[in-house]
Structure 1
Amino acid sequence: MKKLTATLVLFLLCFISCKKEVKTETVTTNVSDTTKTEEPIAEEPVDSAAQAKAWQAYATPGAPHKLLSDEVGTWNCEMTFWYEPNAKPEKSSSVATIKMILGGRYQEANYVGKIMGAPFEGKSTVAYNNASKEFTTTFIDNMGTGMMVAVGKYDEGTKSVEYKGEVVNPVTGKKAPYREVYTIVDPTTRKMEMYDTKNGAEYKSMEIVMKKK
């Protein structure tokens, strides 16, 4: 009986060890059209040196982070809004203070100004992910309770990043796509253009021209 118990324990330990080496993927089968089975897919083994090298590359700021650090400083922002397609534009202004955080890995910007006469505060972060080769931008402000998140890639030819994300309409509660084009005009000028979607059609909803002090 002791031998049988020891054998079962050994088998169980081997089974647990094997489970650590595989990941599972759900595959739909046609068994009664209702049964789903999981088939293990073996992962390629990666040695510790290769893992350490990959993580070091992932954590090391590079040329894209230099683009972000070039914007450190204070910027005057002239903002134009269109609340509806073909609507009369509304003008406003703010001041953005930009800095790099966490060892130069992320950019953080704080905006202070007025929109339609009301005090405005906003905060954005920008990251460049060395693994996915993409920029990610987030934005929050005191005029809502949601966070805008968008992802895009830098185009060297146009000196711009085209971001794409989703935003929730507080009136309908539904998500809608939005697009942002962020352009490096010259060393002291940036332009941000926002495009929203209404009734299935895209329209320009905001433009910010930033001038470095």
Structure 2
Amino acid sequence: MKKVTTTLVIIALCFISCKKEVKTEVDTPKDLDSIKTEEPAAEAPVDSAAQMKAWQAYATPGAPHKLMTDEVGTWNCEMTFWHEPNGKPEKSTSVATIKMILGGRYQEGNYVGKIMGAPFEGKSTLAYNNASKEYTTTFIDNMGTGMMVATGKYDEGKKSMEFKGEVVNPVTGKKAPYREIYTIVDATTRKMEMFDVKDGAEYKSMEIVMKKK
């Protein structure tokens, strides 16, 4: 009986020892270079003629850029602001000067006016990316140090662009989503509506009605 017990103890000790050795080999591999990593998939080669054609298409202004060119000129802007849902609206005015830059590839807007009695200056850019098939809009002004950036697409049926982006709330320091709808009302009228989020609900925070001079 003692021989049987001794044999079982030896087998158990060998089994435990083997487990420790296996674990040691897994946790601390002797040769890190021997570990195989997945190789990134190689891109299919593209001939130089196809590359040149793609870049030419990317750089050539098209119909979406013509849409932006139609807005070149000076616009009177009636601005309305809401600081909270169902809040009292505040009115301001500004004048926007719109032009195309860099060979008709981008639109630039310069705004001058007053907001709450204080001098206001702002600058916008609008681009249509031929590769991604979407618009990108940016805006900066003298009332902050951040840049608003949003992307969206044009809806021919609604004659409007819907943009979505994020802005940092200077009070909380956190990012919050915002939405913008830019509508071509007629040849000399544009309307921009901005929607912010407060307490988890979206509300209309700004509206600008632009009339071309």
Match of 1:131 in 2: 131
Higher strand share: 1
Once the two structures are TM-superposed, the CA of residue 117 in structure 1 deviates from its matched residue by 0.3
Larger radius of gyration: 2
AA at the equivalent of 1:66: K
- Distance in 1 (alpha carbons) for counterparts of 2:37 and 2:183: 48
Partner of 1:104, secondary structure, is: coil
Higher helix share: 2
Partner of 1:49, secondary structure, is: helix
| Matching of residue 181 in structure 1 with residue 178 in structure 2 | no
Runs (4+) of structure 1 moved beyond 6 Å? none
> What are the equivalent positions in structure 2 for 1:94-109 lying under 5 Å apart?
94-109=94-109
Give the aligned CA root-mean-square deviation in angstroms.
Answer: 1.4
Match of 1:93 in 2: 93
Q: Which segments of 5 or more consecutive residues in structure 2 lack a partner in the other structure?
A: 1-25, 28-34
Q: Deviations for 1:41-82, whole angstroms, at most 9, x for unmatched residues?
A: 010110000000000000000000000000000000000000
Q: Which segments of 5 or more consecutive residues in structure 1 lack a partner in the other structure?
A: 1-30
Identity of aligned residues (%): 88
Once the two structures are TM-superposed, the CA of residue 37 in structure 1 deviates from its matched residue by 4.0
Match of 2:69 in 1: 69
Partner of 1:93, secondary structure, is: strand
Once the two structures are TM-superposed, the CA of residue 36 in structure 1 deviates from its matched residue by 10
AA at the equivalent of 2:180: E
AA at the equivalent of 2:160: S
Match of 1:46 in 2: 46
Partner of 1:39, secondary structure, is: coil
- Distance in 2 (alpha carbons) for counterparts of 1:42 and 1:139: 39
1:173/1:38 CA distance change after superposition, 3 Å: farther
Match of 1:201 in 2: 201
- Distance in 1 (alpha carbons) for counterparts of 2:76 and 2:36: 57
Q: Deviations for 1:7-49, whole angstroms, at most 9, x for unmatched residues?
A: xxxxxxxxxxxxxxxxxxxxxxxx98xx994422010110000
TM-score (norm 1): 0.83
Partner of 2:180, secondary structure, is: strand
Partner of 1:170, secondary structure, is: coil
- Distance in 2 (alpha carbons) for counterparts of 1:65 and 1:172: 38
Partner of 1:41, secondary structure, is: coil
1:209/1:50 CA distance change after superposition, 3 Å: same
Q: Paired residues, what number?
A: 181
Match of 2:115 in 1: 115
Match of 1:190 in 2: 190
Partner of 1:50, secondary structure, is: helix
Match of 2:10 in 1: none
- Distance in 1 (alpha carbons) for counterparts of 2:176 and 2:86: 19
- Distance in 2 (alpha carbons) for counterparts of 1:119 and 1:155: 35
